[in-house]
Amino acid sequence: ICLDIADLRKDSFVGPKLEWYKDKMKFVHGDSSRPETLAVVKEILGGRKLDALFIDGDHSFNGLLKDYGLFSPLVRVGGLIGFHNCLMANMPGHPPGPVDEPELLGSRTFWKALETNYPQRCELIDVEAGPWGNYGVGVYTVQTEDNR
């Protein structure tokens, strides 16, 4: 299931690349923070659980908290939950700061909070630095129904 606020199938760059996946994926065009979008995803799943969830939303702390709260219960025990841009180091004009830091740094703050709660279950995968610095992907395994 691919959920995005933009309809990626209509994007002139991404759309043609998704053509191959049209029979293998379900595309949901909607706002991940809306309950009706969650209902569409649940309908597609039909009671099944996800093996993996990758959150790459608006990158704000509150946006991640909302997406995580809504969608993490859909992941099975033993499944993976990943977060994009959890490193966000060395971004020009965006120095590290507290929870109320600039919007794009919310991912890093959220990851650090999660990492503190689940240190033995979290892994930080550092990706090669791009033009804006290191972004990073954080992943952890759901150990029990209660550790989401």
pLDDT at 21 > cutoff 50 = yes
8-state DSSP, 12: T
8-state DSSP, 89: B
Residue 12 tokens, joined: 């002139």
Q: What is the pLDDT of residue 101?
A: 45
Q: What is the pLDDT of residue 125?
A: 61
The predicted-structure confidence for 89-110, as pLDDT tens digits, reads as follows 544 544 444 434 455 567 777 8
Q: What is the pLDDT of residue 138?
A: 79
Give the distance, in angstroms, between the CA of residue 78 and the centroid of all CA atoms in the same chain.
Answer: 17
DSSP string computed for 25-61: --EEES-TTSHHHHHHHHHHHTT--EEEEEE-SS--H
The predicted-structure confidence for 45-85, as pLDDT tens digits, reads as follows 999 999 999 998 887 888 889 999 999 999 999 999 988 87
Give the DSSP H or E segment for 77: strand 75-84
pLDDT at 43 > cutoff 60 = yes
pTM given for the model: 0.78
Query: How far apart are the two ends of the chain, measured CA to CA in Å?
Result: 20
Q: What is the pLDDT of residue 97?
A: 43
